[in-house]
Amino acid sequence: MQAPLAGNVAATTIDFRIALTLAGTGAFNLVPVGRESRVQLRSDWPHPSFVGDFLPVKREVSDAGFDAEWQTSFFATNMEDVLARCAQSSTGCEALAGSSFGVSFIDPVDQYLKSERAAKYAFLFIGLTFAGFFLMEVLRRVSVHPIQYGLVGLALAMFFLLLLSLSEHLGFALAYLIAAAACVSLVGYYVRHVLGSRAQGLGFAAALASLYALLYGILSSEDYALLMGSLLVFGILAAIMVLTRGVSWSKLGEGAR
């Protein structure tokens, strides 16, 4: 973008306003070549990261966007010497990039980061489901074969593969909904026949759906992910201890022998 300047530029204060529609832009940087430069950037992007050699003197960031203002002079940028070297040789112009400032448009929780977070919770998620299976086996006096544990584990593992592949085409929220619904339906249908009870199968599917909903809240959270995950693990551990408070584990082991 270029525009001609008329008049005695050295003794003129030039005010200008530019509206840009940016698509797919990762960062926007400026080089303050004026003797005194005052720059104000306003955008509807809610997650700015201010970069460069100079930070804004004023900034306001909210969910509706940001408003930032920079102010520099030749005393701070040493731009007078840089421009002199640039006028002498083209290699001297490389120093211009070293005096830039601007903003980087980041997405703190994008679909790939959420998928990575989900994969980190995979062992915990599968372990909690197996714990629910084991509780039903103990409390309902139902024998569950290790192969059946393995098939349920494979169905749960497929959720993370479906989530990653679908999120590249449909967006994370819709991909999560489809993957979770498919896995909950498959596991619920299978558990219903393993336990021989439609009510227990539906109950297990509802519990699994609630676990997926809690996991989605953890993945979407920026500041409270660790807190929510800790509370979830503590709550499930407390529920297991309360439900099995009357189980005689020694007699259970003797019965198995």
Residue with the bigger pLDDT between 35 and 144: it is 35
The verdict on 250 and 148 lying in the same domain is: yes
Q: Determine, yes or no, domain membership for 207.
A: yes
Per-residue tokens: 257: 């022998």
Sheet holding 58-62: strands in order across?
A: 36-43, 65-73, 58-62
Among 70, 86, 105, the domain-final residue is 105
List the end-to-end C-alpha distance of the chain, in Å, as a whole number: 82
2 assigned to some structural domain: no
Rounded distance between C-alpha atoms, residue 28 and residue 40, angstroms? 13
Task: State the DSSP code for 103.
Answer: E
Q: What CA–CA distance (Å, rounded) separates 215 from 197?
A: 27
The mean pLDDT value for 41-45 works out to 83
Tell whether the model's pLDDT for residue 127 goes beyond 50.
yes
257 pLDDT more than 50: no
The pTM assigned to this predicted structure is 0.53
- For the chain, give the mean pLDDT: 76
For residues 55 and 124, state if they share a domain.
no
What's the total number of domains in the chain? Answer: 2
31 CB burial (10 A radius; 0-12, 13-18, 19+): middle
Do 207 and 248 fall into the same domain?
yes
Note whether residue 3 is domain-resident.
no
- Co-location of 95 and 115 in the same domain: no
Burial 138-160 (b: 16+ CB within 10 A, else e): eeeeeebeeebbeebeebbeebb
